[in-house]
């Protein structure tokens, strides 16, 4: 099952909060730490898994099929510079695979190659990643709806999460809308309600 609310996690985040986030209904955690070594990433993934497994939350690893397999994660999220979805599916037939997509054609290609969901964005301006195309908003998401479950990403807060759902998104993925809020647990609860 594809989660409805992915919380992106790096080692600089408050990992002690993860069980409370999962208990509040955050059903997906994506380990995304661009500065970690491979070994640190495996260890971080194990820590995240251990923190949320009693809540049945799904843990995926960003970028790295090898780390996802080594650490026993349920899935992997792949972007344009990562292992192609087709190759990932070939070597990891049981992993949940997400693919970054920016339009309907890319979603169709990802589905053809074996992806389970598409990370679709940036929907809105984001402070969390540079070098992205201009945000393309909910209209583009609505136009891409219907091929794969879409996970909206980029500048998502609870209000925008509700809008993304109304436009056809299966769910959303969040960094700043959770980790840069005064109370991340309160923000998580609002996001959970918005995607329900
Ligand atoms: C759910 C989701 N969607 C999109 C992304 C972006 O992934 P990618 O294009 O690989 O960029 P980085 O996250 O690696 O910077 C994502 N992580 N999750
Ligand atoms: C990794 C990524 N890819 C597209 S937007 C984004 C960052 C999302 O972070 P935030 O939720 O803080 O906008």
Q: What is the pLDDT of residues 98-125, one digit of tens each?
A: 999 999 999 999 999 999 999 999 999 9
Give the total number of structural domains in the chain. Answer: 1
Residues of the chain with pLDDT > 70, as a percent, come to 100
Q: Which residue CA neighbors atom 18 of ligand 1 most closely?
A: 119
Average pLDDT over residues 81-107: 98
Detail the residues annotated as belonging to a binding site for Mg(2+): 63, 82
Supply the ipTM of this predicted assembly. Answer: 0.99
Binding-site residues, in ranges, read 30-34, 62-63, 82, 100, 126-129, 155
What is the whole-number distance in angstroms between the Cα of residue 161 and the centre of ligand 2?
13
| Per-residue model confidence (pLDDT) at position 34 | 97
What confidence tier does 89 reach under pLDDT thresholds 50, 70, 90? very high
The string of pLDDT tens digits covering residues 126-153 is 999 999 999 999 999 999 999 999 999 9
Looking at every residue in the chain, the average pLDDT score rounds to 98
Q: Which of 60, 73, 71, 1 is nearest to 38 (CA)?
A: 71
Range of the domain at 122: 5-195
Which positions ≥6 away from 134 have C-beta within 8 Å? none
Give the residue, by CA position, lying nearest to ligand 1 atom 12: 79
Find out whether the beta carbon of 155 lies less than 6 Å from any atom of ligand 2.
yes
Going by alpha carbons, the residue nearest to atom 8 of ligand 1 is: 79
- Summarize the confidence of residues 73-89 as an average pLDDT: 98
In this prediction, residue 61 carries a pLDDT of 98
Domain CATH code at residue 39: 3.20.20.70
pTM for the full predicted model: 0.98
Q: How far is the CA of 87 from the centre of ligand 1 (A)?
A: 18
Please classify residue 101 by burial: count the beta carbons closer than 10 Å to its beta carbon, then call 0-12 exposed, 13-18 middle and 19+ buried.
Answer: buried
28: closest CA among 124, 151, 140, 111? 151
């Amino acid at each position: 099952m594809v989660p409805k609310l992915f919380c992106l996690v790096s080692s600089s985040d408050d990992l002690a909060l993860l069980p409370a986030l999962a208990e509040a209904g955050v059903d997906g955690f994506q380990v995304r730490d661009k500065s970690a070594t491979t070994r640190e990433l495996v260890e971080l993934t194990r820590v995240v898994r251990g923190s949320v497994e009693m809540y049945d939350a799904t843990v995926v690893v960003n970028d790295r099929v090898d780390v996802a397999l080594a650490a026993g994660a349920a899935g992997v999220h792949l972007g344009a510079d990562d292992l192609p979805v087709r190759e990932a599916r070939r070597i990891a037939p049981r992993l949940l695979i997400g693919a970054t997509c920016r339009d309907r054609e890319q979603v169709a290609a990802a589905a053809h190659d074996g992806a389970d969901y598409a990370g679709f964005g940036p929907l809105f301006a984001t402070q969390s990643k540079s070098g992205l195309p201009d945000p393309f908003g909910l209209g583009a998401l609505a136009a891409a709806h219907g091929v794969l479950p879409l996970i909206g990403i980029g500048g998502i807060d609870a209000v925008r999460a509700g809008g993304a759902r109304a436009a056809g998104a299966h769910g959303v993925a969040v960094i700043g809308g959770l980790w840069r809020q005064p109370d991340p647990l309160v923000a998580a609860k609002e996001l959970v309600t918005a995607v329900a």
